[in-house]
Structure 1
Amino acid sequence: MAASLVVIIGGSMLGVSLWLRSVTGEVKRVDAFSEVPEADRPQKAEGAKGAMNFLLLGSDTRDPENQGGSRSDTIIVLHLDKNRSKAQMVSIPRDTWVFVPKSKNGQYGNTNAKINAAYAWGGVPLTVQTVERFTGVRIDHVAIVDFSGFREIVDALGGVEIDVTESFTSTHSLNPDGKRRFEKGVQTMDGAAALDYARERYAFKDGDFARIRHQQQVIKAILNKAASGGTLANPARLNSFLHATADSVTVDGTLNIFDMAMELRNLRGDDLSFFTSPTKGTGMMGSESVVLADDDKIKPFYDALREDQPLPAPTK
């Protein structure tokens, strides 16, 4: 979005366009859909033609083909309305108990499991299958953000401002002693602090739900900072931000990043609405602590998303 704003603001249109295209050329690509059986995929609702759905994954690996136990810690369905004026982000807790289809090699899946097991068992394609089956929403594009690169993105922006709603200590910090204290109130966080803030769950009674709220805060802060005058008017900072993003993100092979940026040039943080997939809270499946989906609310919730309609009130 920041890239497209530079084009709109002015300067040498040809020169800026070539520069932006060179940056987007650095982004790695993954085949997200060829292994997903078309017959099993949900179809777009007639009234939602033109709307677009992204699957956003936060992973601890940059390699989208790595299936050696790596799991997707963050799973978000991003819905862009057909007018490109609003966006809805639905976080699916990583421990949500769902049916995972059989992996391509036939060794995994075809069973109920935590939703983030799909990435470990079958990479991006199996994750797309699992999310589409769970939500009934057709995924158009996929983007994977590497957690270590996330830190570089925030640093390239000069930090982000976050309102910490309660004081806590992260016990899985990037600091040498593994701890970082966050005090209640508004503060500017560098990349390492923002990553610790977005990762922590053990310090809270509601665990992963608190982490989801913090991730949503950080996403909105990054979006607002990237589109701010301070970033756009600073060529060095803008260049660092775009290159850090390109180096940290993997997208599916069908996404035209430049054209998408142009389509989204008017979006701001206030145009984003954040939701959490409806759940009944936590429970046990055998020896595993899981998040239980609220079956009564899931269908109308995702039907609204599929039909490009306003979502019901946010639900934990």
Structure 2
Amino acid sequence: MVLGSAVPRRRLLLVALLAAVVLVVAGGVVATRLVGGPRTDRGATPVLTPGPSTPASPSTTPSPPPPPPGADITGPLNLLLVGVDTRVSVPGWEPHADAVLVLHVPRGLGRAYLFSLPRDLVVDIPAFPKAGYRGGRTKLTHAMSYGSRVPGRPKQPDTAQGYELLRSTVSGYTGLRIDAGAVLTFNGFDRLVDSLGGVDIYVDQRVVSRHRQPDGRHRASAPGGYTGPQMVYEKGRRHLTGWQALDYARQRYIPGGDYSRQRHQQQLIRALARKILDQGLARDPDQVQQVVDALGDTLVYAGGGRRLVEFAYALGGLPADRFVLVGLPGSSVGSGGSYRGEQLTTVGRRFLTELRAGRADAYLTKHPTLKVKT
């Protein structure tokens, strides 16, 4: 794929990252699908760009320039970001939602709240006839896999279709209308982070990698786990390269388990979003659209008639220091001595109620431990 030569490669990588990410303000992972309903904008309204200047006649008053696309978006917005397991080489593989994050941007777009839902959260998954799923109560991660099943094509799961069921499930659980979202894989993550010059993050606990060696090579797979020397991320302020950032954010066999992994993913997202927003790229619709067009069919997007460049522009003015990370506490659920999954505590569930009512700040003031430190 050849991108226009008018923009330096580094800047295009940044805009590509922004185009895929500002929608969910989610920094350096690669969007394989951006989904929010049937796509209606391919080949439709072009980006608004000024035409050739024409001298105004003395008797006419020049018309004011049209507003930038997305300037009329005022919120509120609820955006869903999903990280999926991509082991497509495994027989019978189906995409599972390994990371489920929701970004809530209140009216005015001057603040944003990012929170994660545990992948093992026990939820009611609605019936989904398109995939032949009758509905049930099980782990949130399964909504993606159940929804991705295509009758008659058992080995060809449809990730975008799986997102539809996951979106309905998340909306039903949180009570939030999901306006748009992204299904993300890890492919290309390290290259994009490296294009930003890496990322600075505070490592809040010692993390030993299960997947990587200190030199970045993958550890050898063996029955029951992996073998070989392990990369270690020591506590403190660190500068991480692309593969290190990805590896750090994936680890869940650490103190705190998946809740610690959720926190680390949010911290990484915040650090990357801050770096991107500082570039001001979201307010350049021509360059965002150029990258969207170049991505072609690898980028599937819909947003109630809104184009991606509109969301990018709208969120481009979000102050980086008003990007609030929220950690929702939970606990395990058991039945007959066996593990069934996770549930949010009363404090965690109440946050969702207060968020819907527009009282999130007051609730976080009352429960300051919910705010994730960066």
Asked if these proteins are the same fold (TM beyond 0.5), I'd say: yes
How far residue 171 of structure 1 moved from its aligned partner, in angstroms, is 1.0
Q: For residues 19 and 269 of structure 2, what CA distance do their matches in structure 1 show?
A: 20
- Counterpart pick for 1:60 among 85, 98, 104: 85
Matched, 1:121 2:121: no
- The TM-score with structure 1 as length reference comes to 0.73
| Partner residue in 2 for 1:69 | 94
CA contact (8 A) 1:164 1:186 kept: yes
| Partner residue in 2 for 1:176 | 218
- The TM-score with structure 2 as length reference comes to 0.62
Q: Which moved more, 1:249-258 or 1:155-164?
A: 249-258
Q: Which moved more, 1:155-164 or 1:170-179?
A: 170-179
Write out aligned runs for 1:104-253 (5 A).
Answer: 104-105=129-130, 107-122=132-147, 123-173=162-212, 175-177=217-219, 179-202=230-253, 204-228=254-278, 251-252=301-302
Q: SS state of the match for residue 58, structure 1?
A: strand
Superposed CA deviations along residues 231-279 of structure 1, whole A, max 9, x for unmatched, are 97xxxxx99xx78x96987544544221122212222431111113342
Query: 1:172–1:109: structure 2 CA closer, same or farther, 3 Å change rule?
Result: farther
Q: Which amino acid aligns with 2:109?
A: R
Q: Which moved more, 1:265-274 or 1:102-111?
A: 102-111
Long gaps (5+) in structure 2: 1-10, 21-29, 39-73, 148-161, 221-229, 282-286
Superposed CA deviations along residues 41-79 of structure 1, whole A, max 9, x for unmatched, are xxxxxxxx931111111123499xxx9421111111111
Query: 1:168–1:303: structure 2 CA closer, same or farther, 3 Å change rule?
Result: closer
Superposed CA deviations along residues 138-183 of structure 1, whole A, max 9, x for unmatched, are 1111122222233232111110001112223111236233631112
Long gaps (5+) in structure 1: 1-15, 35-48, 233-237
Give the count of matched residue pairs: 269
Q: Which amino acid aligns with 1:81?
A: P
Q: Percent identity?
A: 31
Q: SS state of the match for residue 148, structure 1?
A: coil
| Partner residue in 2 for 1:308 | 358
Q: Which amino acid aligns with 1:293?
A: L
Q: For residues 298 and 214 of structure 1, what CA distance do their matches in structure 2 show?
A: 18
Q: For residues 177 and 304 of structure 1, what CA distance do their matches in structure 2 show?
A: 44
Q: For residues 147 and 196 of structure 1, what CA distance do their matches in structure 2 show?
A: 10
Q: For residues 87 and 295 of structure 2, what CA distance do their matches in structure 1 show?
A: 12
Q: For residues 108 and 193 of structure 1, what CA distance do their matches in structure 2 show?
A: 38
Q: For residues 133 and 147 of structure 1, what CA distance do their matches in structure 2 show?
A: 27
CA contact (8 A) 1:97 1:290 kept: yes
Query: 1:169–1:30: structure 2 CA closer, same or farther, 3 Å change rule?
Result: closer
Q: For residues 249 and 285 of structure 1, what CA distance do their matches in structure 2 show?
A: 42
| Partner residue in 2 for 1:86 | 111
Q: Which moved more, 1:181-190 or 1:118-127?
A: 181-190
